[in-house]
């Protein structure tokens, strides 16, 4: 692979104005120098994490064993407490690697993300309390707290932003869900301005793409295969562009605020028949973020092509949405279903993760005794 990052497809996307974030974190990735290499060679400028990622990282290696044993010996036996200690250590390390990017971009880029417990997806008060506690424990300005964009999560997002906590709004699927999250962010910024606080608090709104296509695969005509996710993305991108160019946001920018950036999530290809870089090529857009699995990042760096730059013409997207509706799937209904299923999936991953941590902690304690 040519490692001149200016000539790689990843470098082309970066130069287009799209931030490439890695949707993965492991202690090996950090300690081996691999993440540092991705930053230098593949134009990676941020990172996201979730319970599934940590579950795989902890269960499939012994990189965390020493830390787990030490925490247990020191009296930290709760699997959740052990996990957050491990996760914060990893994300502090990653945040420090991205700190130069964060400073060079004046806080626009160079972020890592840590998720509150998925068990709190429908609990406003405890989501906010957890967000505050985790952000202050981590002690890094370039750490996003991930809060789901559920109806109950929206007030927590507003309050977190008002409190000065950078937020990655997760579990967004439809343009309507995106706009609701963007409005919560905007309300938090407006309240900061009214309170004479610094309005420059960062946020991204993470819209999941590939799950749309997976949800209807085999249930619609072949002519619609792998079309819905990109169509929804185009509709969301237009809503994003309209919002950030609105008179309301022009006034907020003049007051020192920065718009919440749109982030494409779930961009690994789910269909074995589709190119492994399908969504990366289709979602090339300035002033957005694309967070991708490690194998997708490497595939795109190796043989990816930067597609036509996204625009706000949604004529083709509207046609796809109409055909999909005729096949029995409307964006509103399916978007709500995907958000609900996504929250349930995160809970399952969370429970699996805590089971792994608890089992490892018990086994390591027994070995030491």
CA angle in degrees (0–180, nearest 5) for 68-72-73: 115
113: helix, strand or coil: strand
> 147 with 167: CB under 8 angstroms?
yes
DSSP of 309-363, one letter per residue? PP-S--HHHHHHHHHHHHTT--HHHHHHHHHHHHHHHHHHHHHHHHHHHHHHHHH
User: Pick the catalytic residue: 146, 235, 270, 360?
Assistant: 146
Residues 6+ apart with CB under 8 A from 359: none
Catalytic (active site) residue 132: no
Phi/psi of residue 351, each to 5°? -65, -40
Of 36, 97, 46, 3, the residue nearest 292 (C-alpha)? 46
Pure H helices in 74-220: 79-104, 124-138, 153-162, 175-194, 210-216
324, two tokens: 């999909």
Which residues on neighbouring strands pair with residue 207, listed in sequence order?
172, 264
How many angstroms from the chain centroid is the CA of residue 265? 6
Q: How many CB atoms lie within 10 A of CB 348?
A: 12
Residues 6+ apart with CB under 8 A from 108: 202, 258, 261
User: Which residue in the block uniquely carries the two structure tokens 């606080």?
Assistant: 197
Active site positions, annotated: 146
């Amino acid at each position: 692979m040519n490692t001149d990052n200016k000539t790689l497809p990843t470098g082309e996307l970066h130069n287009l104005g799209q931030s490439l974030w890695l949707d993965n974190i492991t202690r090996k990735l950090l300690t081996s120098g691999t993440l540092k290499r991705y930053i230098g060679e593949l134009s990676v400028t941020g990172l996201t994490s979730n319970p599934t990622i940590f579950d795989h990282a902890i269960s499939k290696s012994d990189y965390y064993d020493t830390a787990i044993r030490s925490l247990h010996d020191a009296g930290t036996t709760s699997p959740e407490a052990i996990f957050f200690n491990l996760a914060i250590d990893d994300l502090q390390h990653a945040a420090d690697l991205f700190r130069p990017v964060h400073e060079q971009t004046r806080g626009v880029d160079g972020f890592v993300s840590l998720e509150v417990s998925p068990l709190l997806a429908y609990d406003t008060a405890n989501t906010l309390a957890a967000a505050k506690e985790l952000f202050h424990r981590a002690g890094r300005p370039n750490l996003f707290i991930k809060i789901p964009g559920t109806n109950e999560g929206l007030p927590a997002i507003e309050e977190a932003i008002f409190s000065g906590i950078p937020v990655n709004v997760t579990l967004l699927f439809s343009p309507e869900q995106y706009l609701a999250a963007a409005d919560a962010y905007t309300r938090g910024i407006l309240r900061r301005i009214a309170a004479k606080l610094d309005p420059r608090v960062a946020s991204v709104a993470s819209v999941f793409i590939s799950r749309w296509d997976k949800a209807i695969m085999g249930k619609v005509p072949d002519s619609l295969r792998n079309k819905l996710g990109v169509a929804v993305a185009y509709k969301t991108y237009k809503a994003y562009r309209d919002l950030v160019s609105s008179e309301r946001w022009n006034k907020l920018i003049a007051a020192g605020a920065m718009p919440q950036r749109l982030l494409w999530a779930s961009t690994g290809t789910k269909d074995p028949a589709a190119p492994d870089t399908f969504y990366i090529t289709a979602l090339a857009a300035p002033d957005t973020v694309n967070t991708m699995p490690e194998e997708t990042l490497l595939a795109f760096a190796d043989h990816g092509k930067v597609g036509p730059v996204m625009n706000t013409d949604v004529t083709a997207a509207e046609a796809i949405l109409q055909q999909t509706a005729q096949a029995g799937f409307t964006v509103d209904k399916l978007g709500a279903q995907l958000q609900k299923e996504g929250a349930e999936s995160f809970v399952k991953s969370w429970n699996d993760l805590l089971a792994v941590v608890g089992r490892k902690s018990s086994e390591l304690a027994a070995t030491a005794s």
